[in-house]
Structure 1
Amino acid sequence: MDISLRDKKALVTGGSRGIGRAIVIALARAGAEVVTCFRNDGAAVDGLREDLEGLGAVPHLVKADVTRPDEVERLVAECRSRLGRLDAVVNNAGMTSHVPFERLSAAEWRASVDTNLTSAMLVVQKCLPLLAPGASIVNMGSRAATVGVPLRAHYTAAKAGLIGLTRSLAKELGPRGFRVNVVAPGPVATETDVPEEVLERYRSLIALGRLGRPEEIANVVLFLISDASGFVSGETIHVDGGV
């Protein structure tokens, strides 16, 4: 199925690296006009700008911390001035760390919940006035939310909360014609350095025997944004190779 997003307007948070970057590129290739945000300047942002220009797309890159309500408001204002409306919102901004539970500080817990869960609430809430009829909201979850991962209790709890938020929003916003879903990746090969022994353990848990590619996650996001998924809402789609 050839998915076209021509004339669609989208916001993708955390789009300069990894899965977020793959989503931004995939949306642009499919014809959508995309605003994305990033927290830190650097080579990743510069590279994304160059790649978007190479596709003939306008690189709408906005520096914003989506854990801060004032910066979310500024980001949404940029979407209003640059795009006029939003047909899709992809909450991809996130963070993770590995901390034994007995040493997990309240500050680390709050940082994880704020980045992985509260930011999605803030972004969706502030974007509501811009959402066009039939708009699609995609929250990027994690397979960890339903299986649990040692040393990542804070991350797992936040991603599990994202599933609950999604189910509630699907029911509350559904009468307005908005769809809300979760894409939950399993282990994915990104530019982040991961020890080989950890990668091997991941591969041993996956039925397909390999890690996913960011583009494979992005393809599912494209489906959920497209009109082809017009009757899909409130779902969590696991893209994990058969963990």
Structure 2
Amino acid sequence: MRLDLTGKRVVVTGGTKGIGRRVVTAFAEAGASVLTCYRGDETTAAGLLLELKEIGGDHHVVRADMSVRADVEELVAEAHRHLGGIDTLVSNAATVSHHPVVELTDEVWQHTLTTNLTGPFTLVRSALPLLSEGSSIIVVGSRVAQAGMPAAAHYVASKAGLTGLVRALCKELGPAGIRTNLVAPGIIETEATAALPADRRCAYEAKSSLGRLGSVDEVAGAVLFLASDLAGYVTGETLNVDGGV
């Protein structure tokens, strides 16, 4: 089954690499008009724009840092100018780093929480005037929010906070007909995992009941499902896309 999202207006943060990039192109392939953003890599942004032109449709790629409130507000203003409104809002942008607790500085902790948790909150708050009955908010979290991960207390805490944010938003925005859900990927094949040593890759594969890493297509499929009318009675949920970790 191929979802038809023709005419839908979609905003995706962090859409030029990895999972975010595939989410953007999947929405475009389904007929939606997409506005996405990148933080600083002009080369990947230009490459995505070329790919979107080949797919066809009305799409835009702009620069915005989700840790900066002014950038978030400007991104929403761009959505108003280019799309007129938002039918699906996908908060995907995040930062990740690895530091044992004894080496974790206040600065790294704060930057991670600001980007990964405050950023999505600010995005939703700013975008509310452009959302209406039938709109869908989808937050991309991580399976580590439930499983934990060493040397990443800041990252795990930020992703765990998203679960509470989504549950609160589903209660508050549900009466207006706006759905809010979270997609929690496991270990997914991206540019980052391509460089994994063979032994570490095998260890990750062994954690999955399916014995492999996930694909960006599989995460994008979950996002598009939650954006579609097929998920019209689904809100406040966490959809794990983790191969049965």
TM over 0.5: yes
On the 8 A contact 2:10/2:34 being kept in 1, the answer is: yes
1:117 aligns with 2:124: no
Shift of residue 43, structure 1, vs aligned partner: 2.3
Distance of 1:194 and 1:61 partners within structure 2: 30
Distance of 1:112 and 1:136 partners within structure 2: 25
Shift of residue 195, structure 1, vs aligned partner: 2.9
Query: In structure 2, which of residues 226, 231, 241 is the aligned counterpart of residue 239 of structure 1?
Result: 241
2:214 is matched with which residue? 212
Q: Secondary structure at the match of 1:10?
A: strand
2:97 is matched with which residue? 97
- TM-score w.r.t. structure 1 length? 0.98
On the 8 A contact 2:28/2:52 being kept in 1, the answer is: yes
Distance of 1:11 and 1:59 partners within structure 2: 10
2:144 is matched with which residue? 144
- 1:1-243 pair list within 5 angstroms: 1-192=1-192, 193-243=195-245
- Which residue identity does 1:125 align to in structure 2? R
Shift of residue 2, structure 1, vs aligned partner: 2.5
Q: Deviations over 1:182-209 (max 9, x none)?
A: 0000000101233333212110101111
List runs of 5+ in structure 1 lacking aligned partners: none
Measured at CA, do residues 41 and 58 of structure 1 come closer, stay the same or move farther in structure 2, by a change above 3 Å? farther
Q: Deviations over 1:159-185 (max 9, x none)?
A: 000000000000000001100000000
Shift of residue 58, structure 1, vs aligned partner: 3.0
Q: Secondary structure at the match of 2:65?
A: coil
Measured at CA, do residues 221 and 205 of structure 1 come closer, stay the same or move farther in structure 2, by a change above 3 Å? same
- TM-score w.r.t. structure 2 length? 0.97
Identify which range, 19-28 or 51-60, moves more after superposition: 51-60
Shift of residue 73, structure 1, vs aligned partner: 1.1
Q: How many residues align?
A: 243
Q: Deviations over 1:18-70 (max 9, x none)?
A: 00000000000000000001001332111111110000123300101111111
Q: Secondary structure at the match of 1:86?
A: coil
On the 8 A contact 2:132/2:176 being kept in 1, the answer is: no
Distance of 2:138 and 2:177 partners within structure 1: 14
Q: Secondary structure at the match of 2:15?
A: coil
Q: Deviations over 1:94-126 (max 9, x none)?
A: 011111111111111111111111110000000
Distance of 1:121 and 1:127 partners within structure 2: 10
Q: Secondary structure at the match of 1:183?
A: strand
Q: Secondary structure at the match of 1:169?
A: helix
Q: Secondary structure at the match of 2:57?
A: coil
Identity %: 48
Over aligned residues, Cα RMSD in angstroms?
Answer: 0.9
- Which residue identity does 2:9 align to in structure 1? K
Distance of 2:200 and 2:70 partners within structure 1: 38
On the 8 A contact 2:76/2:127 being kept in 1, the answer is: yes
- Which residue identity does 1:68 align to in structure 2? V
Distance of 2:197 and 2:111 partners within structure 1: 24
Q: Secondary structure at the match of 1:182?
A: strand
Distance of 1:198 and 1:97 partners within structure 2: 17
Q: After TM superposition, where is structure 1 displaced by more than 2 Å over at least 4 residues in a row?
A: 193-198
- Which residue identity does 2:166 align to in structure 1? T
- Which residue identity does 2:228 align to in structure 1? S
